Structure 1
């Protein structure tokens, strides 16, 4: 047999004998090194390493090491109560910033809370209750400096929809409220348990694309639900899908719309949108869109009062109960069928609330360059919902709109949440009767203006450009929410996210490699068309771990590359393939099915006089190949450090034999 040659796709041959002597020399030097075997691990040590990496990747015990007992005790308290850490450096300057931030977000949260409570089919005061107690609990246990706590639109809508499927909030009011508090309790238990057992990675299974689609769909659904208050419709569908809502809207066009209500809603929605525009144009004027909702409520309430528009069909809030949160411990269900219902609703709503809060916390932590412990955040969010369920609150989480205002107002610590909470308490104790004439139209306008920001069309375009499968997940979640229901949209989002994971795991990438002429580098020939395939060799790279779900596919795809190459060589009357090199640089793990697949691959190649060579298997892969005796089957002399070493060594042997 003559010299081994490289050949390009166009048929240009490159004789290996003409390669630079330095490269040949480098190839010979490399043969002095062999792929090593890692030390054998026991089952306990291997399992322990996996568990540590999964649950304790951040090594929570590191701050305690080498510290005296007193210091360790203090560190332990600070890890449970972050307020003990940042309170040591708190000063008047920080308080001034937090005071301004707290007052600003309070002016935004009060009208929003009243509206969001209506989304959950609860009386207005329950929205205010939920912005009093939970923020205080979070201020003690939470580690985010910027997140603003309270009810949010998406969770309020989801909770109200799920509760309405179990009890009618008009006919069975007591059961409805009891189930709402029970769901809040178990939402808190879910969140706290995920954090305590360090299972925060679970929420990462909801892809960013699915969340973008779900949030956009929820924003559309919430906006459509506000048409009842915006148009003054008395009888409105309890369904959330767009078809049912539009039927309800257009069915009432001749006798159900109220022009005075539409005038109020349109005028103040225009005012709110203009205020938001000003805030976006000049960041220093962030306070204008922040206080615009409260100003709108005051003006609209005054207008309705002096004109007595409520006697002309304009629907008003009518009554908000005065006083701080009453106890609701005795209202929680801890037995019977309602317990199961509460757990189911709480887990679903709690997971969505948790996802939103963690995403918001991470976003602002990155902007201010400080670290945020996701597991501690979950415990804090869970604790505040558990306490909240016992004080007449419904599910609360981090609000993006209020957190953004909090950030732009210059908040320094969670004291801004405390200030907001105090303002809400004063509102409950002193001025709630003044909201009696607040028109529902203004609350609808505030919610429509708030949820418009949940439709992130730029993110959708970005997803389309980067990953078409992600775009399908985004659209699936969006259309599921808009055309069916919120929970169906959520299920679609979760389902598509898992389907994408399964698709990527079961159908991994196996690429054909070629050599960049004059170098020892081998690259994907589709990414580098100038890369030359080496005559007599088929070189593939497996770009994933090899498990039972993809082992057979990896084997079949590798053989398909081999068959395609042999057919091409046969057509061009070139020498047949003598070697199949599998670059395992990207393979981090392999299981029993994977080793069996490699044995089948080896036996199949042997029958066709094709030698199997492995390049750069990792330590874990090498350990398992050795344990399965595959290294004995294929031979240690067929396992190389690099692809170039494999090509060079085999080419030299072929030339010597010739």
Structure 2
């Protein structure tokens, strides 16, 4: 019974002709029906899919008071931070500050239903807000009559629809195609651009210039406009920024010097933004309470109470056309920041997120958010770090945070009026400053992979000289080009055989000849004369098949001679491109006998690469005529690859000796090596009229043994 189960798992069938202790069995070829069965989900998998759309159902039944305490502390801490940050990020999006509160509320309220991370908090973020702000500015330059909130809510709905579809289709793996250097360049370039755009308001400059252009233009215009700075605004901005950094440094120093109070210092540090906003708002209130019509410095102004913009958002095709070209950049920003943040916190806190489910979470958030006035939102790195360190136990933390934001929207709006705009700019600069990649990280990129460091540099330069979306496109496209080039030009290796001692025995080890030649301490036996062992390093498919096989043919031509030197009756019959010219002595070179291809790195093949193999076989058969070349394939793991090779004329399905699992003697014979467990064709040693049939082998050792047997039976003349 056990033997039958093993055979079924391996896709093997008993031969109708042979019976006994060691039953030969044929590995059946895969079929299209089998492929369809693997592609289409079963009813059980469909059920798991729908249950997985609401992950909270798995843990909510086990919710307890201890978890609630952790979530309560984390939720209150994050809520205190998200209120001022949300207002600041709304200004980045060129929207009234209340839209930041709407976005903060909806992000944390909806996410917990779909979350697979306990640490992530969704809401307005600096980079996405900047992209939305630039789109609003571009649209209003052409159509001043279109209000900014309408554009922002339309962007949220479109991005939410796209991301939700990607999540439902389980396309979360797409994020894996965006490498770390591209993400780092995007984040650093965005941070510098955001900081440079906030300096104008930080210093209270009255000169009029566009802060949505490229970073270098903003920096130049800011420096030119320094004489127009207002003293009171600059005082409220610069001192607030200095206070934020001084408080952070002080609390970090205190935590290092007094580890017992590290938790206390952490919470104080997390609340530093709230403290600074509160202090400077009180100062502003004292200064401007009796002069609201003519304040001494710029204030946030009136913030409507509660939800003043609820309703069905206006979505028109004309508005969508105006920003349609920017949608890919918006979607990429949503994906990059959220998935990168959630994966990093999952690794730190020992759990695994589901990228596709996370896409559903941010997609649904951006679909429903606009109904209460929320603009595009995604995962925030800074607030997620605070939530993680505050002791969040479950995604339910978002409900606590939503309650804090709701309380602020209905009770604190009068006080929000007096927040200085310069102080709000200081909060933004302080929040995004940590996104800038430190120099030691860039140097680490250079040490690991200089190409990745170059990609980072290109992305950063494009972000500063052009726009953030262009930086995303440049780094992603450049990374894809590098990936394709590495794949297309992947180096194949000719292998030799070395022997390593293992206790009292020796076992073979196959090493690349081009690498071992540089190390004389490694003794490598080259394959038999006229035999070549070749390994594909990064798969075999249409981009790299030509490169691999050209290298294979050129090396074989260089190290072998034609079997029949008199193949051309006349000198003029020789092709112009024949490498074996008549005046070159190649008699010392062996004739080509066999080729062993190591498919350990090959998962599947396509029509193009199989056709290239056929062309190479024809080309080499001419060289070895009248005896065709022996072809052997080792480490072929994929049954579809075997089927493809067989269908292309490289032989019939392999025959495998399978020892009966219930026969102790048979198992003993296998362990002693007296039973050949190699996968090979039925009787393929002797060439047939149609040419030799290949062998399929489980490893290179058995393949080389079969070649040795063939050479012993049919030595070269």
TM-score (norm 1): 0.84
Q: Secondary structure at the match of 2:597?
A: strand
The answer to whether the aligner puts 1:206 opposite 2:178 as a matched pair is yes
Distance 1:83-1:580 versus aligned 2 partners, 3 A rule: closer
Pick from 194, 197, 221: which aligns with 2:193?
Answer: 221
Deviation at 1:78, TM superposition (A): 5.2
1:280–1:40 distance in 2 versus 1, CA, 3 Å: farther
* Change in 2 beyond 3 A, CA 1:476/1:204: same
In the other structure, the counterpart of 1:26 is none
1:591 matched to which residue of 2? 606
**Contact 2:193 2:214 survives alignment (8 Å):** yes
Structure-2 separation of matches of 1:177 and 1:550: 50
Distance of 2:24 and 2:699 partners within structure 1: 10
After superposition, the Cα gap between the structure-2 partners of 1:322 and 1:577, relative to the gap in structure 1 and judged at 3 Å, is: farther
Equivalent position of 1:233 in the other structure: 205
Q: Distance in 1 between matches of 2:602 and 2:536?
A: 7
The CA distance in 2 between the partners of 1:521 and 1:85, in whole Å, is 49
CA distance in 2, matches of 1:35, 1:452: 68
1:327 paired with 2:300, answer no
- Work out which of the residue numbers 604, 609, 631 in structure 1 matches 2:651: 631
Determine the structure 2 residue equivalent to 1:288: 268
Q: SS of the counterpart of 1:576?
A: coil
CA distance in 1, matches of 2:444, 2:233: 39
User: 1:190-230: CA deviations, max 9, x gaps?
Assistant: 11111112122222222222111111111111111111112
Cα distance in structure 1, aligned partners of 2:104 and 2:605: 51
Give 2:365's match in structure 1, choosing from 384, 389, 400: 384
Which stretch shifts more, 260-269 or 592-601? 260-269
Alignment of 1:75-114 (within 5 A): 79-114=52-87
- Correspondence for 1:264 among 228, 236, 239: 236
Counterpart Cα distance in 2 of 1:475 and 1:110 = 34
Change (3 A) 1:553 1:451: same
Instruction: Report Cα offsets for 1:337-389 as digits up to 9, x if no partner.
Output: 21334555455323321332222222223333333222222222211111101
Contact 1:186 1:342 in 2 (8 A): no
Q: In the alignment, which residue of structure 1 is the partner of 2:113?
A: 140
Is 2:135–2:323's contact at 8 Å kept on the other side of the alignment?
no
Asked whether the 8 Å contact 1:35–1:641 carries over to 2, the reply is: no
What CA deviation, in whole Å up to 9, does each residue of 1:556-596 have, x standing for no partner? 122233355569xx999954363443222211111111111
Counterpart contact for 2:172–2:355, Cα < 8 Å: yes
1:128 matched to 2:101? yes
2:35 aligned to which of 43, 46, 63: 46
Q: Give RMSD over aligned pairs.
A: 3.1
Residue pair 2:299, 2:417 contacting (<8 A) in 1 also: yes
Deviations along 1:441-466, whole A, 9 cap, x unmatched?
Answer: 21122111111221233543333232
- For residues 82 and 646 of structure 1, the distance between their equivalents in structure 2, rounded to whole angstroms, comes to 50
Task: Find the residue that maps to 1:167 and give its secondary structure.
Answer: helix
SS in 1 for 2:237: helix
Q: Does 1:481 align with 2:538?
A: no
1:525 aligns with 2:513: yes
Q: Which residue of 2 aligns with 1:17?
A: none
Deviates more, 1:379-388 or 1:503-512: 503-512
Task: Name the SS for the 1:129 alignment partner.
Answer: helix
Task: Report Cα offsets for 1:15-46 as digits up to 9, x if no partner.
Answer: xxxxxxxxxxxxxxxxxx99997423333432
Higher relative contact order (CA 8 A, sep 6+): 1
Q: Which sits farther off after the overlay, 119-128 or 510-519?
A: 510-519
| Structure number having the greater helix percentage | 1
Distance 1:449 1:626, change over 3 A: same
Which of residues 542, 557, 563 is equivalent to 1:548? 542
Rounded Cα–Cα distance in structure 1 between residues aligned with 2:267 and 2:494:
58
SS at match of 2:494: strand
1:414 corresponds to: 395
Is 1:434–2:415 an aligned residue pair?
A: yes
Change (3 A) 1:564 1:127: farther
Structure 1 residue 318 corresponds to structure 2 residue 301? yes
Matches within 5 A, 1:371-520: 371-457=352-438, 458-517=440-499, 519-520=507-508
Describe the shift of the 1:332–1:351 C-alpha distance in structure 2 as closer, same or farther (beyond 3 A). Answer: farther
How many angstroms apart in 2 are the aligned matches of 1:463 and 1:623?
43
CA distance in 2 between partners of 1:341 and 1:36 (Å) = 65
**Counterpart Cα distance in 2 of 1:212 and 1:144:** 22
| SS class of match (1:131) | helix
Distance 1:289 1:36 in 2: 69
CA contact (8 A) 1:35 1:639 kept: no
Write the distance in 1 (CA, Å) between the matches of 2:495 and 2:103. 60
Q: Closer, same or farther in 2 for the Cα pair 1:478/1:539, shift >3 Å?
A: same
Q: Distance between the aligned counterparts of 1:78 and 1:587, measured in 2?
A: 36
Distance 1:230 1:60, change over 3 A: farther
The answer on whether the counterparts of 1:196 and 1:379 sit within 8 Å (CA) in structure 2 is: yes
CA distance in 1, matches of 2:702, 2:56: 58
Q: Residues 563 and 260 of structure 1: is their aligned pair in 2 closer, same or farther, counting only changes over 3 Å?
A: farther
Q: Is contact 1:481–1:489 with CA below 8 Å preserved after alignment?
A: yes
Confirm or deny: 8 A CA contact 1:134 1:387 kept in the other structure: no
Deviation at 1:146, TM superposition (A): 1.3
Is the contact between residue 30 and residue 643 of structure 2 (CA under 8 Å) also seen in structure 1?
A: no
Partners of 2:226 and 2:202 in 1: how far apart?
Answer: 13
Contact 1:535 1:575 in 2 (8 A): no
What residue in structure 2 maps to residue 534 of structure 1?
527
Q: C-alpha distance in 1, partners of 2:559/2:46?
A: 57
| Inter-CA distance 195–532: structure 2 relative to 1 (3 Å threshold) | same
Gaps of 5+ in 1: 1-32, 65-74
Q: Which whole-Å CA distance do the structure 1 matches of 2:557 and 2:297 have between them?
A: 76
2:417 counterpart SS class: helix
Alignment size in residue pairs? 605
Deviations 1:153-195 (A, max 9, x none): 11111111123222249x8364322121111111111111111
Provide TM-score, normalisation by structure 2. 0.78
* Superposition deviation, residue 76 in structure 1: 7.9
The 3 A distance-change label for structure 1 pair 321 and 271 is same
| CA contact 2:140–2:146 (8 Å) conserved in 1 | no
Unpaired runs of 5+ residues, structure 2, are 1-21, 256-261, 501-506, 562-583, 653-689
Decide whether aligned partners of structure 1 residues 624 and 409 sit closer, same or farther in structure 2, where only a CA change above 3 A counts. Answer: same
Distance across 1 between alignment mates of 2:404 and 2:163: 27
Per mean C-alpha deviation after superposition, the further-off stretch among 381-390 and 470-479 is 470-479
